[in-house]
Amino acid sequence: MKTVKFLFGLLKGQRVRYYTAIALGVVISLIPLTNNYLVKVIVDDVIVAGRNNLLIPILIALFCLTLARVSIWYYVHYVIERTGQKIMLDVRNQGFKKLLSMEFSFFDKTRTGDLMTRMTADVDFIRHFFSHVFYTLIEQSVFFLGALCFMMTAADVSFLVMAAIVMPLAIYMAVKLAFSVKPRYRKVRELRAVLNTVAQENIEANRVVRAFVREDLEREKMRIASENFKLEQFNVNRIWRRYMPFLSNIQMLFTIYNIVVGGILVMTGKMSMGDLVMFNGMVWMITGPLTQYGFLANDVANCLASTDKLIDLLNTDTEIKPVKAAPIKKRIDGNIDFISVSFGYDGAEHALHDATFHVKAGETIGLIGSAGSGKSTIINLISRFYDVDHGVILIDGEDIKNIDLDTLRGSIAVAQQDVFLFSNTIRENIAFGTSWATDKDIIKAAKAAKAHDFIMELPEGYDTIVGERGVGLSGGQKQRLTLARALLHNPSILVLDDTTSALDAETERDIQWNLSELFGNKTVFIISQRISSVKDCDQILVLENGDITERGKHQDLVNAGGYYSRVFRHQFSELADAQKGGEPAWQK
């Protein structure tokens, strides 16, 4: 019931026009009953009785009724199709808005293929329901009830015997089909989501698949996913085969019965030939809907299964709640305090444990540690992509949970290690999220990121279209573009997540110099495995297994003999002796 209520709630704002079209559809559905009666008059009064003067008026009436039905039918189908398309647009926008509001933890647990299915196939099933299924269900029901009522009042009782036996059974089987096939359609859509996920992953990771010669294994994964989908489709078909032969052949059974019984009544003088022709038409109006109910039950089950999945998505609670009250400030300064912060992904062991540190606005902070040590977790928490399990994070002295999300994230720019570029021009990729940027601003950011020179060497310069995820560009070029995007944002807090890992040392030094010129008064976080990237930071935090094990400036950490010192000596082993006193040789 909840599903049906939600489904028809989607008509909000369109109910009057939609239900008016349905009402007109009901009216024109009664016209075939009138046509059948006029055909009876032609047979009995014109052909048999020879009253030829009635032929022209009856033909004109039939033509006018048919013209009226066609005209109204066109309007009705225009309205219901337009309504279905509008609902599809609204639901898809509503679903996409919901996806954009979900935190990272939701996407960590949900398959991309499942979300794609909900946003495409499931939404289209809802459109199909309002554009075709619901109207057809009403139309066929009017045919069925109108013809049945007419026959009950005008036909010989012999005609009603077959209907009394077959129709309850047919209705029962149509309802049984609907309830039997619905759970199977849920399974079908789940397996379709798995199939989409396998296809999406292989399309996106085709270079990885080929690089590791995994084509055979991935083909087997696709074969298994396709086989499971096929088998479940067969299960649906098996249910159909159980009910549809009877439902599909009702018309033939009724027609044979009508010819035999009607023929006897005509020959014995108890029924006219016109009545037989009319009742034969009525039989088709009764049996046709009974056959259609089987197909409609299938479509309704499909729609309800898809609607349930969309309801699940739209009702998914957002763990990170935006603040409704207006923020105190439109932009943050960049003072950050972590106070005994602990956090674990999806209830797992803490990725960050009892972290405490203070960052003054304008400081540059280096984060270094092995993979999985908690470096990126700190950034995710500062951006409030996740909420802490314990402790508190203060931004400019205010609890991060009391800061408007748009204000918070609008003051932070992240140049990510996992570079993502859209299938668009380089200009649009750099300006992503900064619609106010002029060409001068874009070029300035590109120059600061050392990207301008290679951009100008491309065929169309800044108007060059890059492939999906930056296909066609080198790793270093992609990193410089994502860095330019972050710089153009002009944030209060800039995060460089291993952004220069694919760059040579000289380019990295040039970029760092540019950053010091442009962001000398901004708070900057530098995540890196390279000592050269963090050596000049005001404060360096060393993380191991979620704990901050060392903190301080570069020289202090080198002298401390801990993890940082070991990494330094490994990367600069040939200059290790220079650390015994004075300025390091590699800084001279």
204-248 pLDDT tens trace = 667 667 766 777 888 888 888 888 888 888 888 887 777 777 766
pLDDT reported for residue 16: 93
Contacts of 299 (CB under 8 A, 6+ apart): 128, 129, 132, 133
DSSP character at residue 583? S
pLDDT tens, 22-43? 999 999 888 888 888 888 889 8
Tell me: pLDDT of 121 over 70: yes
pLDDT for position 295: 76
pLDDT at 159 (0 to 100)? 66
Q: Report pLDDT for 583.
A: 47
- Helix (H) or strand (E) holding 391, with range, is strand 390-395
DSSP state of 581: S
Q: In what order do the strands lie in the sheet with 336-343?
A: 352-359, 336-343, 390-395, 398-399
C-beta atoms surrounding 499 within 10 Å: 26
- CA-to-CA distance for 134 and 84, rounded, in angstroms? 11
Provide mean pLDDT across the span 535-563: 89
* pLDDT value for 587: 44
Cα separation, 172 vs 184, whole angstroms: 19
pLDDT the model gives residue 579: 46
**More confident call, 559 vs 516:** 559
CA distances (Å), origin 268, targets 261, 262, 265, 271? 11, 10, 5, 8
Question: What does the pLDDT read at residue 581?
Answer: 47
Q: Please determine, for residue 508, whether its predicted confidence score (pLDDT) is greater than 70.
A: no
Residue-wise pLDDT tens digits, 354-372: 999 999 988 889 999 888 8
Q: Residue 4's pLDDT is what? A: 87
| Residue 97 to residue 395: CA distance in whole angstroms | 27
* CB contact at 8 A, 283 and 276: no
- Whole-angstrom CA distances from 317 to 99, 106, 321, 346, 389 are 11, 10, 9, 15, 18
Binning pLDDT at 50, 70 and 90, where does residue 336 land?
Answer: very high
Q: Categorize the per-residue pLDDT at 582 as very low, low, confident or very high, splitting at 50, 70 and 90.
A: very low
Segment 403-418 mean pLDDT: 81
Q: What is the pLDDT of residue 76?
A: 93
- Residue 467: the pLDDT is 65
- Better-predicted residue by pLDDT, 559 or 348: 559
The confidence band for 517, taking pLDDT boundaries of 50, 70 and 90, is low
Instruction: Please check the confidence at residue 272 and state whether its pLDDT lies above 90.
Output: no
Predicted confidence at residue 177, as pLDDT, reads 73
Comparing 56-65, 238-247, 346-355, the range with the smallest average pLDDT is: 238-247
Residue 578: what pLDDT?
Answer: 45
Rounded distance between C-alpha atoms, residue 368 and residue 567, angstroms: 10
Average pLDDT over residues 90-97: 90
pLDDT digits (tens, 9 = 90+) for 164-194: 777 777 777 777 776 777 777 778 877 887 8
Higher pLDDT, 448 or 75: 75
Cα–Cα distance, 342 to 518 (Å, whole number): 33
- Over residues 98-114, mean pLDDT: 79
Confidence tier at 584 by pLDDT (50, 70, 90): very low
Q: How distant, in Å, are the alpha carbons of 165, 427, 551 from that of 466?
A: 68, 10, 41
pLDDT band, very low/low/confident/very high, at 303 (cuts 50, 70, 90):
confident
- Tell me the C-alpha distance between 403 and 335, whole Å: 13
CA–CA separation, 443 vs 484, rounded Å?
9
- Annotate 99-132 with DSSP letters as a single string: HHHS-HHHHHHS-HHHHHHIIIIIHHHHHHIIII
| pLDDT score for 586 | 40
- CA nearest neighbour of 379 among 421, 412, 331: 412
DSSP letters along 306-352, please?
HHHHHHHHHT---SSPPP-SPPS-SS----EEEEEEEE-GGG-S-SE
Residue 240's Cα: distance from chain center in Å? 30
Q: What is the distance between the alpha carbons of residues 434 and 417, in angstroms, rounded to a whole number?
A: 21
| Lateral strand order in the sheet of 493-497 | 412-415, 493-497, 523-527, 364-369, 539-544, 547-552
Give the integer Cα–Cα distance in Å for 117 and 248.
32
Q: Cβ(584)–Cβ(575) under 8 Å? A: yes
**Residue 328 pLDDT:** 54
Which residue type is seen at 358? H
- Any idea which of 237-241, 335-339, 430-434 has the lowest mean pLDDT? 237-241
Widest CA span in the chain = 126
Quote the CA–CA distance of 12 and 581 in Å, as a whole number: 77
The proportion of the chain whose per-residue pLDDT surpasses 90, expressed as a percent, equals: 14
